[in-house]
Chains A and B, each alone.
Chain A
Amino acid sequence: MARTDALTLDHAALLEGPAPSLARKLLWGFARVFSILALIVAWEGLARSGAFTPFVLPSLSSVIERIWSDAISGELAINTGLTVYRALVGFLISMVGGVLIGVAMSRNAIANWFFDPIVSVGFPMPKIAFLPVVILWLGVYDVAKITIIVVDAIFPVIAATLIAIRSVERELIWSARNMGANDRELMWQIVLPAAAPQVLTGLQVALPLSMIVAVVAEMLMGGYGLGGAMMTASRFADSRGVFAGIVEIAIVGYVLIKAMSILRRRLLIWHQEANEPTTA
Protein backbone atom coordinates (compact mmCIF):
# COMPACT_ATOMS: atom_id res chain seq x y z
CA MET A 1 0.00 0.00 0.00
CA ALA A 2 1.42 3.34 -0.93
CA ARG A 3 1.76 5.91 1.78
CA THR A 4 -0.77 8.29 0.40
CA ASP A 5 -0.42 10.69 3.27
CA ALA A 6 3.21 11.49 2.66
CA LEU A 7 2.74 14.75 0.87
CA THR A 8 5.95 16.45 1.72
CA LEU A 9 5.68 20.12 1.12
CA ASP A 10 8.91 21.56 0.07
CA HIS A 11 8.53 25.09 1.31
CA ALA A 12 11.89 25.25 3.00
CA ALA A 13 13.53 24.74 -0.37
CA LEU A 14 11.71 27.77 -1.69
CA LEU A 15 13.64 29.95 0.67
CA GLU A 16 17.08 28.84 -0.44
CA GLY A 17 19.72 31.42 -1.07
CA PRO A 18 20.58 34.45 1.02
CA ALA A 19 18.95 34.67 4.41
CA PRO A 20 15.29 35.42 3.73
CA SER A 21 14.07 38.82 4.78
CA LEU A 22 10.89 39.22 6.78
CA ALA A 23 9.11 40.51 3.68
CA ARG A 24 9.99 37.38 1.74
CA LYS A 25 8.81 35.20 4.59
CA LEU A 26 5.50 37.01 4.69
CA LEU A 27 5.19 36.68 0.93
CA TRP A 28 5.64 32.91 1.02
CA GLY A 29 3.35 32.65 4.02
CA PHE A 30 0.74 34.45 1.97
CA ALA A 31 1.38 32.20 -1.03
CA ARG A 32 0.58 29.21 1.18
CA VAL A 33 -2.90 30.42 2.02
CA PHE A 34 -3.48 32.22 -1.28
CA SER A 35 -5.19 29.35 -3.07
CA ILE A 36 -7.45 28.61 -0.12
CA LEU A 37 -8.45 32.28 0.03
CA ALA A 38 -8.98 32.24 -3.73
CA LEU A 39 -11.23 29.22 -3.41
CA ILE A 40 -13.31 30.93 -0.71
CA VAL A 41 -13.61 34.15 -2.72
CA ALA A 42 -14.46 32.24 -5.91
CA TRP A 43 -17.17 30.22 -4.16
CA GLU A 44 -18.79 33.28 -2.59
CA GLY A 45 -18.38 35.36 -5.75
CA LEU A 46 -19.81 32.74 -8.11
CA ALA A 47 -22.73 32.09 -5.80
CA ARG A 48 -23.55 35.80 -5.51
CA SER A 49 -23.00 36.61 -9.18
CA GLY A 50 -26.23 34.87 -10.09
CA ALA A 51 -24.51 32.57 -12.57
CA PHE A 52 -25.75 29.63 -10.53
CA THR A 53 -29.02 29.20 -8.70
CA PRO A 54 -28.73 28.96 -4.90
CA PHE A 55 -29.87 25.34 -5.29
CA VAL A 56 -26.81 24.42 -7.36
CA LEU A 57 -24.36 26.56 -5.40
CA PRO A 58 -25.47 28.21 -2.17
CA SER A 59 -23.12 30.97 -1.04
CA LEU A 60 -20.42 30.09 1.47
CA SER A 61 -21.77 32.68 3.92
CA SER A 62 -25.22 31.09 3.89
CA VAL A 63 -23.65 27.67 4.39
CA ILE A 64 -21.68 28.96 7.37
CA GLU A 65 -24.85 30.51 8.73
CA ARG A 66 -26.50 27.12 8.43
CA ILE A 67 -23.63 25.38 10.27
CA TRP A 68 -23.89 28.03 12.99
CA SER A 69 -27.63 27.48 13.47
CA ASP A 70 -27.08 23.70 13.55
CA ALA A 71 -24.41 24.26 16.17
CA ILE A 72 -26.73 26.37 18.32
CA SER A 73 -29.64 23.95 18.10
CA GLY A 74 -27.29 21.20 19.27
CA GLU A 75 -27.91 19.07 16.18
CA LEU A 76 -24.36 19.54 14.96
CA ALA A 77 -22.93 18.14 18.18
CA ILE A 78 -25.22 15.08 18.11
CA ASN A 79 -24.58 14.31 14.44
CA THR A 80 -20.83 14.86 14.63
CA GLY A 81 -20.58 12.89 17.85
CA LEU A 82 -22.43 9.91 16.41
CA THR A 83 -20.45 9.83 13.17
CA VAL A 84 -17.13 10.10 14.97
CA TYR A 85 -18.24 7.50 17.52
CA ARG A 86 -19.17 4.97 14.82
CA ALA A 87 -16.08 5.61 12.73
CA LEU A 88 -13.74 5.40 15.72
CA VAL A 89 -15.32 2.30 17.27
CA GLY A 90 -15.16 0.60 13.88
CA PHE A 91 -11.58 1.75 13.45
CA LEU A 92 -10.52 0.57 16.93
CA ILE A 93 -12.11 -2.86 16.44
CA SER A 94 -10.34 -3.12 13.07
CA MET A 95 -7.07 -2.07 14.68
CA VAL A 96 -7.17 -4.62 17.49
CA GLY A 97 -8.66 -7.38 15.35
CA GLY A 98 -6.39 -6.69 12.39
CA VAL A 99 -3.20 -6.66 14.44
CA LEU A 100 -4.26 -9.82 16.30
CA ILE A 101 -5.05 -11.69 13.07
CA GLY A 102 -1.83 -10.44 11.47
CA VAL A 103 0.25 -11.56 14.46
CA ALA A 104 -1.54 -14.91 14.58
CA MET A 105 -0.92 -15.45 10.87
CA SER A 106 2.77 -14.71 11.21
CA ARG A 107 3.20 -17.10 14.14
CA ASN A 108 0.80 -19.92 13.47
CA ALA A 109 0.78 -22.05 10.32
CA ILE A 110 -2.87 -23.02 10.63
CA ALA A 111 -4.01 -19.42 11.13
CA ASN A 112 -1.92 -18.46 8.13
CA TRP A 113 -3.38 -21.26 6.01
CA PHE A 114 -6.91 -20.24 6.93
CA PHE A 115 -6.66 -16.45 6.66
CA ASP A 116 -4.22 -16.07 3.78
CA PRO A 117 -6.67 -16.77 0.91
CA ILE A 118 -9.40 -14.82 2.70
CA VAL A 119 -7.16 -11.77 3.00
CA SER A 120 -5.73 -11.97 -0.49
CA VAL A 121 -9.16 -12.37 -2.08
CA GLY A 122 -11.03 -10.14 0.35
CA PHE A 123 -8.66 -7.17 0.43
CA PRO A 124 -9.20 -6.00 -3.15
CA MET A 125 -12.96 -6.59 -3.05
CA PRO A 126 -15.29 -3.59 -2.72
CA LYS A 127 -16.75 -4.78 0.60
CA ILE A 128 -19.15 -1.85 0.61
CA ALA A 129 -21.32 -3.96 -1.74
CA PHE A 130 -22.14 -6.10 1.30
CA LEU A 131 -23.91 -3.17 2.94
CA PRO A 132 -27.41 -4.41 1.99
CA VAL A 133 -26.48 -7.86 3.30
CA VAL A 134 -25.38 -6.33 6.60
CA ILE A 135 -28.68 -4.42 6.76
CA LEU A 136 -30.52 -7.67 6.14
CA TRP A 137 -28.72 -9.37 9.01
CA LEU A 138 -28.27 -6.64 11.57
CA GLY A 139 -30.79 -3.91 10.81
CA VAL A 140 -29.95 -0.25 10.42
CA TYR A 141 -28.66 0.76 13.84
CA ASP A 142 -25.18 1.23 15.27
CA VAL A 143 -24.25 -2.46 15.26
CA ALA A 144 -24.85 -2.72 11.51
CA LYS A 145 -23.04 0.54 10.77
CA ILE A 146 -20.01 -0.39 12.85
CA THR A 147 -19.94 -3.89 11.37
CA ILE A 148 -19.66 -2.67 7.78
CA ILE A 149 -16.90 -0.26 8.87
CA VAL A 150 -14.95 -3.13 10.43
CA VAL A 151 -15.47 -5.33 7.36
CA ASP A 152 -13.88 -2.61 5.23
CA ALA A 153 -11.19 -1.26 7.53
CA ILE A 154 -9.76 -4.49 8.94
CA PHE A 155 -8.11 -5.67 5.71
CA PRO A 156 -5.48 -2.93 5.35
CA VAL A 157 -4.54 -3.45 9.02
CA ILE A 158 -4.10 -7.22 8.61
CA ALA A 159 -2.08 -6.79 5.42
CA ALA A 160 0.16 -4.10 6.91
CA THR A 161 0.76 -6.10 10.10
CA LEU A 162 1.69 -9.20 8.12
CA ILE A 163 4.15 -7.39 5.87
CA ALA A 164 5.58 -5.48 8.82
CA ILE A 165 6.24 -8.57 10.92
CA ARG A 166 7.68 -10.48 7.99
CA SER A 167 10.12 -7.71 7.21
CA VAL A 168 11.52 -7.32 10.74
CA GLU A 169 15.27 -7.66 10.47
CA ARG A 170 16.48 -11.16 11.25
CA GLU A 171 19.54 -9.78 13.05
CA LEU A 172 17.32 -8.10 15.64
CA ILE A 173 15.50 -11.34 16.36
CA TRP A 174 18.69 -13.40 16.45
CA SER A 175 20.40 -11.00 18.84
CA ALA A 176 17.40 -10.94 21.15
CA ARG A 177 17.21 -14.73 21.15
CA ASN A 178 20.92 -14.89 21.79
CA MET A 179 20.52 -12.66 24.81
CA GLY A 180 17.88 -15.04 26.12
CA ALA A 181 14.59 -13.39 25.25
CA ASN A 182 11.59 -15.72 25.42
CA ASP A 183 8.75 -15.69 22.88
CA ARG A 184 6.70 -13.19 24.81
CA GLU A 185 9.54 -10.74 25.29
CA LEU A 186 10.56 -11.17 21.68
CA MET A 187 7.04 -10.24 20.54
CA TRP A 188 6.52 -7.25 22.81
CA GLN A 189 10.00 -5.81 22.92
CA ILE A 190 11.41 -6.59 19.50
CA VAL A 191 8.91 -7.61 16.84
CA LEU A 192 6.03 -5.26 17.57
CA PRO A 193 8.16 -2.10 18.00
CA ALA A 194 10.13 -2.94 14.87
CA ALA A 195 6.90 -3.52 12.97
CA ALA A 196 5.23 -0.37 14.34
CA PRO A 197 5.97 2.05 11.47
CA GLN A 198 4.37 -0.19 8.83
CA VAL A 199 1.46 -1.14 11.08
CA LEU A 200 0.81 2.57 11.63
CA THR A 201 0.85 3.09 7.88
CA GLY A 202 -1.86 0.43 7.62
CA LEU A 203 -3.84 2.24 10.32
CA GLN A 204 -3.44 5.47 8.37
CA VAL A 205 -5.14 3.75 5.44
CA ALA A 206 -7.85 2.26 7.66
CA LEU A 207 -8.84 5.53 9.37
CA PRO A 208 -9.94 7.49 6.27
CA LEU A 209 -11.61 4.33 5.02
CA SER A 210 -13.59 4.12 8.28
CA MET A 211 -14.81 7.67 7.75
CA ILE A 212 -15.77 7.03 4.10
CA VAL A 213 -17.73 3.93 5.02
CA ALA A 214 -19.31 5.55 8.10
CA VAL A 215 -20.68 8.34 5.91
CA VAL A 216 -22.00 5.93 3.25
CA ALA A 217 -23.58 3.68 5.88
CA GLU A 218 -25.30 6.66 7.47
CA MET A 219 -26.52 7.90 4.10
CA LEU A 220 -28.02 4.53 3.26
CA MET A 221 -29.36 3.54 6.67
CA GLY A 222 -30.59 6.97 7.77
CA GLY A 223 -30.94 8.11 11.37
CA TYR A 224 -28.77 10.67 13.10
CA GLY A 225 -25.18 11.30 12.03
CA LEU A 226 -23.56 13.64 9.51
CA GLY A 227 -24.23 11.33 6.55
CA GLY A 228 -27.86 10.84 7.53
CA ALA A 229 -28.34 14.59 7.96
CA MET A 230 -26.92 15.20 4.48
CA MET A 231 -29.27 12.64 2.97
CA THR A 232 -32.28 14.19 4.69
CA ALA A 233 -31.22 17.62 3.42
CA SER A 234 -30.81 16.33 -0.12
CA ARG A 235 -34.23 14.67 -0.04
CA PHE A 236 -35.81 18.02 0.81
CA ALA A 237 -33.79 19.76 -1.91
CA ASP A 238 -32.09 21.70 0.87
CA SER A 239 -28.73 22.23 -0.76
CA ARG A 240 -27.47 24.55 1.98
CA GLY A 241 -27.81 21.57 4.31
CA VAL A 242 -25.92 19.36 1.84
CA PHE A 243 -23.02 21.81 1.50
CA ALA A 244 -22.98 22.35 5.27
CA GLY A 245 -22.67 18.58 5.62
CA ILE A 246 -19.66 18.49 3.29
CA VAL A 247 -17.91 21.23 5.22
CA GLU A 248 -18.64 19.51 8.54
CA ILE A 249 -17.50 16.10 7.32
CA ALA A 250 -14.38 17.66 5.77
CA ILE A 251 -13.46 19.27 9.10
CA VAL A 252 -14.01 16.03 11.02
CA GLY A 253 -11.92 14.10 8.47
CA TYR A 254 -9.16 16.70 8.62
CA VAL A 255 -9.00 16.66 12.43
CA LEU A 256 -8.96 12.86 12.63
CA ILE A 257 -6.22 12.46 10.03
CA LYS A 258 -4.09 15.24 11.54
CA ALA A 259 -4.48 13.66 14.98
CA MET A 260 -3.39 10.32 13.54
CA SER A 261 -0.24 11.75 11.97
CA ILE A 262 0.64 13.61 15.18
CA LEU A 263 0.16 10.35 17.07
CA ARG A 264 2.45 8.61 14.59
CA ARG A 265 5.18 11.15 15.14
CA ARG A 266 4.77 10.82 18.93
CA LEU A 267 4.83 7.03 18.91
CA LEU A 268 7.76 6.78 16.55
CA ILE A 269 9.87 9.44 18.21
CA TRP A 270 12.59 6.78 18.69
CA HIS A 271 12.51 5.77 15.05
CA GLN A 272 14.84 7.23 12.46
CA GLU A 273 11.91 8.54 10.42
CA ALA A 274 11.31 11.08 13.21
CA ASN A 275 14.54 12.78 12.18
CA GLU A 276 13.48 13.09 8.58
CA PRO A 277 11.96 16.37 7.48
CA THR A 278 8.44 16.58 8.84
CA THR A 279 5.61 15.81 6.47
CA ALA A 280 3.24 18.73 6.26
Chain B
Amino acid sequence: MKSAVFRYLPLVLLAMAWEATARLELVSSSALPPLSEVMVSWIDLVRTGELAGNTGASLYRAGAGLLLAIVIGTALGIGMAWWKPINVLLSPLVEIFYPLPKSALIPVTVIWLGFGNGSKILLIFMGCMIPVTISAFNGARSSEQTLVWSARSMGANRLRMLWDVVLPSAMPELLNGIRTALALSFILLVSSELIVAREGLGYLIGFLGANGSYEAMYAVVMTVSLLGFAADRGYQMLMNRMLRWREQTL
Protein backbone atom coordinates (compact mmCIF):
# COMPACT_ATOMS: atom_id res chain seq x y z
CA MET B 1 0.00 0.00 0.00
CA LYS B 2 2.69 2.43 1.07
CA SER B 3 4.82 1.58 -1.93
CA ALA B 4 1.88 2.19 -4.26
CA VAL B 5 1.39 5.62 -2.73
CA PHE B 6 5.08 6.36 -3.19
CA ARG B 7 4.99 5.06 -6.74
CA TYR B 8 2.07 7.20 -7.83
CA LEU B 9 3.12 10.24 -5.82
CA PRO B 10 4.39 12.08 -8.94
CA LEU B 11 0.87 12.00 -10.39
CA VAL B 12 -0.51 13.43 -7.16
CA LEU B 13 2.17 16.11 -7.23
CA LEU B 14 1.23 16.99 -10.82
CA ALA B 15 -2.43 17.24 -9.82
CA MET B 16 -1.49 19.52 -6.91
CA ALA B 17 0.69 21.63 -9.20
CA TRP B 18 -2.27 21.92 -11.57
CA GLU B 19 -4.59 23.06 -8.78
CA ALA B 20 -2.03 25.52 -7.42
CA THR B 21 -1.17 27.01 -10.82
CA ALA B 22 -4.85 27.60 -11.51
CA ARG B 23 -5.71 28.92 -8.02
CA LEU B 24 -2.78 31.34 -7.96
CA GLU B 25 -3.87 32.46 -11.45
CA LEU B 26 -0.43 31.99 -12.91
CA VAL B 27 -2.29 31.27 -16.15
CA SER B 28 -5.75 32.47 -17.09
CA SER B 29 -8.50 30.33 -15.59
CA SER B 30 -10.07 29.74 -18.98
CA ALA B 31 -6.85 28.12 -20.22
CA LEU B 32 -6.46 26.02 -17.09
CA PRO B 33 -9.42 25.77 -14.75
CA PRO B 34 -8.58 24.37 -11.30
CA LEU B 35 -8.74 20.59 -11.03
CA SER B 36 -11.34 20.79 -8.27
CA GLU B 37 -13.72 22.72 -10.53
CA VAL B 38 -13.11 20.24 -13.33
CA MET B 39 -14.19 17.50 -10.96
CA VAL B 40 -17.33 19.42 -9.99
CA SER B 41 -18.33 19.82 -13.62
CA TRP B 42 -17.57 16.13 -14.20
CA ILE B 43 -20.14 15.29 -11.54
CA ASP B 44 -22.60 17.67 -13.24
CA LEU B 45 -22.03 15.94 -16.57
CA VAL B 46 -22.67 12.58 -14.97
CA ARG B 47 -25.81 13.83 -13.26
CA THR B 48 -27.35 15.23 -16.45
CA GLY B 49 -26.65 11.94 -18.21
CA GLU B 50 -24.73 13.75 -20.94
CA LEU B 51 -21.57 11.86 -20.19
CA ALA B 52 -23.16 8.41 -20.07
CA GLY B 53 -25.02 8.89 -23.36
CA ASN B 54 -21.98 10.08 -25.27
CA THR B 55 -19.71 7.49 -23.70
CA GLY B 56 -22.15 4.80 -24.78
CA ALA B 57 -22.15 6.09 -28.35
CA SER B 58 -18.35 6.20 -28.45
CA LEU B 59 -17.81 2.79 -26.92
CA TYR B 60 -20.35 1.23 -29.29
CA ARG B 61 -18.47 2.63 -32.29
CA ALA B 62 -15.03 1.62 -31.04
CA GLY B 63 -16.27 -1.83 -29.99
CA ALA B 64 -18.06 -2.60 -33.23
CA GLY B 65 -15.19 -1.40 -35.42
CA LEU B 66 -12.61 -3.23 -33.38
CA LEU B 67 -14.60 -6.46 -33.29
CA LEU B 68 -14.97 -6.45 -37.08
CA ALA B 69 -11.27 -5.69 -37.45
CA ILE B 70 -10.29 -8.54 -35.13
CA VAL B 71 -12.51 -11.14 -36.78
CA ILE B 72 -11.73 -10.25 -40.39
CA GLY B 73 -8.11 -9.30 -39.74
CA THR B 74 -7.37 -12.58 -37.98
CA ALA B 75 -9.03 -14.58 -40.72
CA LEU B 76 -7.05 -12.78 -43.42
CA GLY B 77 -3.75 -13.02 -41.56
CA ILE B 78 -4.06 -16.72 -40.84
CA GLY B 79 -5.31 -17.31 -44.37
CA MET B 80 -2.21 -15.55 -45.71
CA ALA B 81 0.06 -17.74 -43.61
CA TRP B 82 -1.86 -20.91 -44.39
CA TRP B 83 -2.45 -20.72 -48.09
CA LYS B 84 0.16 -19.24 -50.45
CA PRO B 85 -2.22 -17.85 -53.12
CA ILE B 86 -3.95 -15.69 -50.49
CA ASN B 87 -0.55 -14.40 -49.43
CA VAL B 88 0.41 -13.57 -53.01
CA LEU B 89 -2.85 -11.71 -53.56
CA LEU B 90 -3.09 -9.86 -50.28
CA SER B 91 0.45 -9.05 -49.22
CA PRO B 92 0.97 -6.31 -51.85
CA LEU B 93 -2.26 -4.67 -50.69
CA VAL B 94 -1.27 -4.94 -47.03
CA GLU B 95 2.11 -3.52 -47.92
CA ILE B 96 0.68 -0.42 -49.58
CA PHE B 97 -2.08 0.18 -47.03
CA TYR B 98 0.00 -0.44 -43.93
CA PRO B 99 1.92 2.89 -44.11
CA LEU B 100 -1.20 4.98 -44.90
CA PRO B 101 -1.81 7.36 -41.98
CA LYS B 102 -5.29 6.08 -41.23
CA SER B 103 -6.64 9.45 -40.15
CA ALA B 104 -6.59 10.44 -43.84
CA LEU B 105 -9.63 8.17 -44.27
CA ILE B 106 -11.86 10.28 -41.99
CA PRO B 107 -13.32 12.55 -44.73
CA VAL B 108 -13.89 9.61 -47.09
CA THR B 109 -15.80 7.55 -44.56
CA VAL B 110 -17.98 10.63 -44.04
CA ILE B 111 -18.60 10.93 -47.78
CA TRP B 112 -19.57 7.25 -47.90
CA LEU B 113 -21.60 6.82 -44.74
CA GLY B 114 -22.43 10.26 -43.35
CA PHE B 115 -22.00 11.76 -39.91
CA GLY B 116 -23.33 8.91 -37.79
CA ASN B 117 -22.13 5.61 -36.41
CA GLY B 118 -21.46 3.96 -39.76
CA SER B 119 -18.59 6.21 -40.80
CA LYS B 120 -16.80 5.82 -37.43
CA ILE B 121 -17.20 2.06 -37.39
CA LEU B 122 -15.90 1.81 -40.95
CA LEU B 123 -12.94 4.05 -40.12
CA ILE B 124 -11.99 2.07 -37.00
CA PHE B 125 -12.46 -1.20 -38.86
CA MET B 126 -10.20 -0.12 -41.75
CA GLY B 127 -7.60 1.41 -39.47
CA CYS B 128 -7.36 -1.48 -37.01
CA MET B 129 -7.60 -4.37 -39.44
CA ILE B 130 -4.04 -4.12 -40.78
CA PRO B 131 -2.16 -4.40 -37.47
CA VAL B 132 -4.34 -7.42 -36.61
CA THR B 133 -3.74 -9.01 -40.02
CA ILE B 134 0.01 -8.54 -39.81
CA SER B 135 0.28 -9.94 -36.30
CA ALA B 136 -1.94 -12.93 -37.10
CA PHE B 137 0.17 -13.59 -40.19
CA ASN B 138 3.47 -13.36 -38.33
CA GLY B 139 2.16 -15.44 -35.45
CA ALA B 140 0.72 -18.20 -37.61
CA ARG B 141 3.79 -18.33 -39.81
CA SER B 142 6.06 -18.81 -36.84
CA SER B 143 4.12 -21.79 -35.49
CA GLU B 144 6.69 -24.46 -34.88
CA GLN B 145 7.20 -26.87 -37.73
CA THR B 146 7.66 -29.77 -35.31
CA LEU B 147 4.21 -29.15 -33.84
CA VAL B 148 2.68 -29.03 -37.30
CA TRP B 149 4.48 -32.22 -38.35
CA SER B 150 3.54 -34.14 -35.23
CA ALA B 151 -0.07 -33.08 -35.55
CA ARG B 152 -0.05 -34.23 -39.15
CA SER B 153 1.60 -37.53 -38.33
CA MET B 154 -1.03 -38.12 -35.68
CA GLY B 155 -3.58 -37.80 -38.43
CA ALA B 156 -5.03 -34.35 -37.87
CA ASN B 157 -6.67 -32.99 -40.97
CA ARG B 158 -5.91 -29.47 -42.18
CA LEU B 159 -8.85 -27.77 -40.50
CA ARG B 160 -8.21 -29.41 -37.16
CA MET B 161 -4.56 -28.43 -37.38
CA LEU B 162 -5.52 -24.83 -38.05
CA TRP B 163 -7.68 -24.81 -34.97
CA ASP B 164 -5.54 -26.90 -32.63
CA VAL B 165 -1.99 -25.95 -33.61
CA VAL B 166 -1.73 -22.85 -35.77
CA LEU B 167 -4.25 -20.62 -33.99
CA PRO B 168 -2.92 -21.26 -30.45
CA SER B 169 0.66 -20.71 -31.48
CA ALA B 170 -0.29 -17.52 -33.30
CA MET B 171 -2.07 -16.32 -30.17
CA PRO B 172 0.71 -14.41 -28.33
CA GLU B 173 1.67 -12.35 -31.37
CA LEU B 174 -1.96 -11.90 -32.37
CA LEU B 175 -2.94 -10.65 -28.91
CA ASN B 176 -0.11 -8.11 -29.08
CA GLY B 177 -1.35 -6.91 -32.45
CA ILE B 178 -4.85 -6.53 -31.04
CA ARG B 179 -3.40 -4.38 -28.28
CA THR B 180 -1.90 -2.06 -30.90
CA ALA B 181 -5.27 -2.03 -32.65
CA LEU B 182 -7.05 -1.17 -29.39
CA ALA B 183 -4.86 1.91 -28.89
CA LEU B 184 -5.34 2.89 -32.53
CA SER B 185 -9.12 2.51 -32.24
CA PHE B 186 -9.24 5.12 -29.49
CA ILE B 187 -7.08 7.53 -31.51
CA LEU B 188 -9.27 7.14 -34.59
CA LEU B 189 -12.50 7.29 -32.58
CA VAL B 190 -11.61 10.53 -30.81
CA SER B 191 -10.16 12.21 -33.91
CA SER B 192 -13.12 11.38 -36.10
CA GLU B 193 -15.57 12.51 -33.43
CA LEU B 194 -13.65 15.74 -32.94
CA ILE B 195 -13.74 16.45 -36.66
CA VAL B 196 -17.26 15.38 -37.67
CA ALA B 197 -19.91 13.97 -35.34
CA ARG B 198 -23.19 14.75 -33.65
CA GLU B 199 -22.61 12.68 -30.54
CA GLY B 200 -19.83 10.85 -28.78
CA LEU B 201 -17.09 11.91 -26.37
CA GLY B 202 -14.95 13.59 -29.05
CA TYR B 203 -17.98 15.57 -30.20
CA LEU B 204 -18.72 16.55 -26.59
CA ILE B 205 -15.15 17.84 -26.13
CA GLY B 206 -15.40 19.98 -29.25
CA PHE B 207 -18.88 21.21 -28.38
CA LEU B 208 -17.99 22.20 -24.81
CA GLY B 209 -14.77 23.87 -26.00
CA ALA B 210 -16.64 25.90 -28.61
CA ASN B 211 -19.12 27.00 -25.94
CA GLY B 212 -16.34 28.15 -23.67
CA SER B 213 -17.24 25.75 -20.83
CA TYR B 214 -13.64 24.75 -20.34
CA GLU B 215 -14.07 23.02 -16.97
CA ALA B 216 -16.50 20.59 -18.58
CA MET B 217 -14.24 20.19 -21.61
CA TYR B 218 -11.33 19.25 -19.36
CA ALA B 219 -13.61 16.82 -17.51
CA VAL B 220 -14.46 15.01 -20.76
CA VAL B 221 -10.82 15.02 -21.92
CA MET B 222 -9.82 13.36 -18.65
CA THR B 223 -12.67 10.85 -19.01
CA VAL B 224 -11.56 9.83 -22.50
CA SER B 225 -7.95 9.47 -21.35
CA LEU B 226 -8.92 7.34 -18.38
CA LEU B 227 -11.18 5.17 -20.54
CA GLY B 228 -8.30 4.54 -22.92
CA PHE B 229 -6.03 3.72 -20.02
CA ALA B 230 -8.60 1.42 -18.41
CA ALA B 231 -9.26 -0.36 -21.70
CA ASP B 232 -5.56 -1.08 -22.13
CA ARG B 233 -5.11 -2.31 -18.56
CA GLY B 234 -8.22 -4.46 -18.76
CA TYR B 235 -7.07 -5.93 -22.04
CA GLN B 236 -3.63 -6.68 -20.61
CA MET B 237 -5.20 -8.61 -17.74
CA LEU B 238 -7.33 -10.56 -20.17
CA MET B 239 -4.30 -11.26 -22.35
CA ASN B 240 -2.28 -12.63 -19.43
CA ARG B 241 -5.19 -14.86 -18.57
CA MET B 242 -5.51 -16.15 -22.12
CA LEU B 243 -1.81 -16.89 -22.32
CA ARG B 244 -1.63 -18.66 -18.98
CA TRP B 245 -1.42 -22.07 -20.70
CA ARG B 246 1.98 -21.08 -22.01
CA GLU B 247 3.46 -20.71 -18.55
CA GLN B 248 2.06 -24.09 -17.57
CA THR B 249 3.73 -25.90 -20.43
CA LEU B 250 7.11 -24.38 -19.65
Contact = CB atoms under 8 A, between A and B. Distances in A.
A249 B100 contact: yes
B141 interface: yes
Nearest to A245: B104
Interface in A123-160: 124-133, 135-137, 152
B190 A128 contact: yes
B188 to A, nearest CB: 8
A33 B92 contact: yes
A32 B88 contact: yes
Nearest to A58: B111
Interface in B99-119: 99-108, 110-112
A275 interface: no
A68 interface: no
Contacts of A28: 88
B155 to A, nearest CB: 26
Where chain B touches its partner, the secondary structure class is: helix
B63 interface: no
A253 interface: yes
B209 interface: yes
B108 A126 contact: no
A262 B231 CA distance: 35
Chain A contact patch, size range: 35 or more
B8 A117 contact: yes
B26 interface: no
Contacts of B91: 7, 9
Interface of B: 6-11, 14, 30-31, 84, 87-108, 110-112, 131, 134-135, 137-138, 141, 173, 176-177, 179-180, 183, 186-187, 189-191, 194-195, 201-202, 205-206, 209, 214, 217-218, 220-221, 224-226, 228-229, 231-233
Interface of A: 1-2, 4-11, 14, 28, 31-36, 39, 55-56, 113-118, 121, 124-133, 135-137, 152, 208, 211-216, 219-220, 226-227, 230-231, 233-234, 239, 242-243, 245-246, 249-250, 253-254, 256-258, 280
5 nearest interchain CB pairs? A124-B232, A126-B186, A2-B176, A234-B107, A211-B101
